Amino acid sequence: MALNLLSPAEIKAISFLDSTKSTHLPKLPGGFALRRKDCKTVVGRIQCSAAAQTPPPAWPGRAVPETSRRTWDGPKPISIVGSTGSIGTQTLDIVAENPDKFRIVALAAGSNVALLVDQVKRFKPQLVAVRNESLVNELNEALADLEEKPEIIPGEQGVIEVARHPDAVTVVTGIVGCAGLKPTVAAIEAGKDIALANKETLIAGGPFVLPLAHKHNVKILPADSEHSAIFQCIQGLPEGALRRIILTASGGSFRDWPVEKLKEVKVADALKHPNWNMGKKITVDSATLFNKGLEVIEAHYLFGAEYDNIEIVIHPQSIIHSMIETQDSSVLAQLGWPDMRLPILYTMSWPERIYCSEVTWPRLDLCKLGSLTFKAPDNVKYPSMDLAYAAGRAGGTMTGVLSAANEKAVELFISEKISYLDIFKIVELTCAKHRAELVASPSLDEIIHYDLWARDYAATLQSSSSSIAAFA
């Protein structure tokens, strides 16, 4: 079951591309035929030609507010897609604390009717959607006594209507998975700014979503803590000033484990994050470092940095949320206690900064904290990094396939149907299989199709011992 991946030097500047003209280059044991990209040196940094036409980044290395931005009267109108999830509930906490700054006009949830009812009664939205259509009668009955009853639209269409509500200025996209793609696209087409918490929007949908956002002059504001840190650091930079992005990672459950011990990993081990309690999926992603590999892809789409200029650093304290390096070698960082409310708040208030009470937003005390430490990630312990960089360089539908295959593999691991090391093997085998069908500039339907295909294909590998054995 031992992994036999290429060294970091061999992995550098490779992608999942047609290798028929480069048969002399090495192959990953999972079946990836690779070829090196056409690279050139530009002003002291490396730039590589893209596998497909690179979509325009959301923020090309700098963030400058436009003087002609949309204005509104009173508190800023907000819609939330995924209101009963972690992102949605934290967003509503922010709204509750700042009623003079924000108001809720529409809410969409999946199936947690009880919590949705409480949210409707408290925040009084004009429109409500429940994705699970079978629960619409229960929702109607629970809200029957309200004097000001909101409009209720069930199913996916209801979620889409919440996303493009005419009064909303910003839409918080907290829904998980590719289910968040269609509502996000609808919001962009309606001219709404996106407070982005749905990773598939860019990791899978970047080649389609980014040109659409530019067409409609829509801003995509990152709610993920690492990308928010980068976004905050690039405020007001002159054009061309960004040189490097440095993503910080906690290192997850196995940051202090020797590589040789990973073959013994149990599910309970992977779920013991050293810093905080999170959901099972994200905790496993933190252990494998797939979460950081996916964030590398997202950073590329958000800020336009080449993959050679995006680095990962293990930072156990999780106080520096990420950093940038400018052309003159200055390094800028954003620091704070690990609290998702801060990046969510900034997506809602940008370019403004809103005062936060010390009671609910503890201020960072560096003297009390004591010290911050860093170390380079181990490519052998975390082969997910090499897989993510290679998928990112391939572009197109490959990044969505990588994400979907990982999601399915993690699900299989948590269900104890595969081993921990099999997560990496299944993801690589799925990406290798997809290489022949990679779509460089996919449509929305193609993005969703290959997301579903990757999950189905990854599931077949867990029962195919010969495929995984051949990988080892």
Partners of residue 14 on adjacent β-strands: 36
Residue 386: inside a domain: no
Residue 285: inside a domain: no
pLDDT at residue number 23: 29
> Which pLDDT band holds residue 464 (cuts at 50, 70, 90)?
low
Residue 326: inside a domain: no
pLDDT at residue 467 is higher than 60:
no
Q: Give the mean model confidence (pLDDT) for residues 326-347.
A: 96
pLDDT in tens, 422-440: 999 999 999 999 999 999 9
Least confident window among 98-112, 139-153, 272-286, 334-348: 272-286
Residue 454: which of 432, 421, 472, 470 has the closest Cα? 432
Question: Count of domains in the chain?
Answer: 2
Residue 155: inside a domain: yes
Partners of residue 78 on adjacent β-strands: 104, 170
Partners of residue 79 on adjacent β-strands: 106, 171
pLDDT at residue number 68: 75
Query: Cα 140 vs. chain centroid, distance in angstroms?
Result: 34
Residue 77: inside a domain: yes
> Which pLDDT band holds residue 69 (cuts at 50, 70, 90)?
confident
Domain encompassing residue 456 = 393-464
CATH number, position 152: 3.40.50.720
> Which pLDDT band holds residue 11 (cuts at 50, 70, 90)?
very low
pLDDT at residue number 384: 97
Q: Which of the pair, 354 or 179, is modelled with greater confidence? A: 354
Q: Which of the pair, 298 or 178, is modelled with greater confidence? A: 298
Residue 401: which of 365, 368, 437, 375 has the closest Cα? 437
Boundary-marking domain end, from 180, 201, 223 = 223
Please state, as a whole number, how many other Cβ atoms lie within 10 Å of the Cβ of residue 327.
15
Dihedral sign computed on CA atoms, order 200, 54, 187, 437: negative
> Which pLDDT band holds residue 6 (cuts at 50, 70, 90)?
very low
pLDDT at residue number 41: 33
Boundary-marking domain end, from 202, 223, 244 = 223
Instruction: Please tell me the distance from the alpha carbon of residue 26 to that of residue 400, in angstroms, as a whole number.
Output: 25
> Which pLDDT band holds residue 91 (cuts at 50, 70, 90)?
very high
Under DSSP, is residue 153 helix (H, G, I), strand (E, B) or coil?
A: strand
Residue 3: inside a domain: no
Residue 341: inside a domain: no
> Which pLDDT band holds residue 293 (cuts at 50, 70, 90)?
very high
CATH number, position 438: 1.10.1740.10
pLDDT at residue number 469: 52
Q: Give the mean model confidence (pLDDT) for residues 368-376.
A: 94
Residue 346: inside a domain: no
pLDDT at residue number 12: 40
Q: Give the mean model confidence (pLDDT) for residues 240-257.
A: 95
pLDDT in tens, 442-455: 999 999 999 999 99
Boundary-marking domain end, from 180, 195, 223 = 223
Average model confidence (pLDDT) for the chain?
87
